Amino acid sequence: MQQTRLTGKDVAEHDNKESCWVIIHGKAYDVTEFLPEHPGGAGVILKHAGKDATEAFEPIHPPDTLDKYLDRSKHLGGVDMSTVIAEEKSFDPDEESRQQRIALMPPLGKCFNLHDFESVARQVMRRGAWAYYSSGADDEITLRENHSAYHKIWFRPRILVDVEQVDSSTSMLGSKCEVPFYVTATALGKLGHLEGEVVLTRAASRHGVIQMIPTLGSCSFDEIVDAKRGDQVQWLQLYVNQDREITKRIVQHAEKRGCKGLFVTVDAPQLGRREKDIRTRFEGAASDVQKNNPGAIDRSQGAARAISTFIDPSLSWKDIPYFKSITKMPIVLKGVQRVEDVLTAIEHGIPAVVLSNHGGRQLDTAPSAIEILADVMPELRRRGLQDKIEVYVDGGVRRATDIIKALCLGAKGVGIGRPFLYAMSAYGEPGVVHAMQLLKDEFEVAMRLIGARSVGELGPEFVDVRGLSMHSVPTPADFLSSDVYDRLVVPAFAVK
The candidate with the shortest Cα–Cα distance to 134, out of 364, 393, 360, is 360
Residue from 30, 223, 371, 394 in contact with ligand FNS (CB under 6 A) = 394
Q: Which stretch binds ligand FNS (CB under 6 A): 80-88, 178-186, 280-288, 458-466?
A: 178-186
Which residue lies nearer to ligand FNS by CB, 187 or 350?
Answer: 187
Which residue lies nearer to ligand FNS by CB, 361 or 412?
Answer: 361
Task: Name residue 396's amino acid.
Answer: G
Q: How far is the CB of 122 from ligand FNS (least distance, A)?
A: 14
Q: Restricting to residues 279-308, name those near ligand FNS by CB under 6 A.
A: 304
The candidate with the shortest Cα–Cα distance to 429, out of 126, 133, 205, is 205
Which residue lies nearer to ligand FNS by CB, 34 or 310?
Answer: 310
CA gap 84, 54 in Å, rounded: 13
Residue 185 makes contact with ligand FNS by CB under 6 A: yes
Residue 184 makes contact with ligand FNS by CB under 6 A: yes
Sequence-distant (≥ 6) Cβ neighbours of residue 311 within 8 angstroms: 239, 240, 241, 242, 268, 269, 270, 271
Residue 136 makes contact with ligand FNS by CB under 6 A: no
**Catalytic position from the list 29, 133, 182, 239:** 239
Between the alpha carbon of residue 373 and those of residues 226, 470, 471, the distances in Å are 35, 15, 15
The phi, psi pair for 316, rounded to 5°, reads -150, 180
Residue 399 makes contact with ligand FNS by CB under 6 A: no
Q: How far is the CB of 65 from ligand FNS (least distance, A)?
A: 16
Expressed in angstroms, the distance from the first to the final Cα of the chain is 60
Q: How far is the CB of 49 from ligand FNS (least distance, A)?
A: 27
Q: What is the DSSP string of 151-192?
A: GG-EE----S---SS-B--EEETTEEESSSEEE---S-GGGT
Residue from 418, 428, 463, 465 in contact with ligand FNS (CB under 6 A) = 418
Site mask, ligand FNS, residues 315-334, x = CB under 6 A?
Answer: -------------------x
Q: Which stretch binds ligand FNS (CB under 6 A): 161-169, 320-328, 389-397, 405-413?
A: 389-397
Q: How far is the CB of 333 from ligand FNS (least distance, A)?
A: 11
Q: Which residue is nearest to ligand FNS (CB)?
A: 417
Residue 416 makes contact with ligand FNS by CB under 6 A: yes
CB atoms within 10 A of CB 384: 8
Which residue lies nearer to ligand FNS by CB, 33 or 486?
Answer: 486
Query: Residue 172, Cα to own-chain centre: how many angstroms?
Result: 20
Between the alpha carbon of residue 52 and those of residues 9, 12, 188, 322, 402, the distances in Å are 12, 9, 21, 42, 46
Residue 146 makes contact with ligand FNS by CB under 6 A: yes
Q: Which stretch binds ligand FNS (CB under 6 A): 75-83, 100-108, 393-401, 468-476?
A: 393-401
Residue 397 makes contact with ligand FNS by CB under 6 A: yes
Site mask, ligand FNS, residues 348-377, x = CB under 6 A?
Answer: --------x-xx-x----------------
Find the radius of gyration of the CA atoms of the chain: 24
Which residue lies nearer to ligand FNS by CB, 168 or 215?
Answer: 215
**Catalytic position from the list 30, 267, 341, 364:** 267
Between the alpha carbon of residue 96 and those of residues 99, 105, 134, 201, 302, the distances in Å are 5, 14, 22, 31, 24
Residue 216 makes contact with ligand FNS by CB under 6 A: yes
Q: What is the DSSP string of 104-156?
A: HPPPGGG--SHHHHHHHHHHHS-HHHHHHHH--STT-HHHHHHHHGGGG-EE-
The candidate with the shortest Cα–Cα distance to 15, out of 56, 52, 61, 54, is 52
Q: How far is the CB of 184 from ligand FNS (least distance, A)?
A: 4
Long-range contacts of 244-251 (CB under 8 A, 24+ apart): 244/322, 246/310, 247/326, 248/326, 250/215, 250/221, 251/323, 251/326, 251/327, 251/329
Site mask, ligand FNS, residues 245-284, x = CB under 6 A?
Answer: --------------------x-----x-------------
Question: Is residue 267 among the annotated active site residues?
Answer: yes
Q: How far is the CB of 17 from ligand FNS (least distance, A)?
A: 29
Q: Which stretch binds ligand FNS (CB under 6 A): 57-65, 155-163, 383-391, 412-420?
A: 412-420
The candidate with the shortest Cα–Cα distance to 248, out of 316, 184, 324, is 324
CA gap 364, 267 in Å, rounded: 12
Cβ atoms of 136 and 359 closer than 8 Å: yes
CB atoms within 10 A of CB 406: 29
Which residue lies nearer to ligand FNS by CB, 161 or 194?
Answer: 194
Residue from 50, 395, 413, 431 in contact with ligand FNS (CB under 6 A) = 395
Residue ranges binding ligand FNS (CB under 6 A)? 132-133, 146, 184-187, 214, 216, 237, 265, 271, 304, 334, 356, 358-359, 361, 394-397, 415-418
Active-site positions?
239, 267, 358
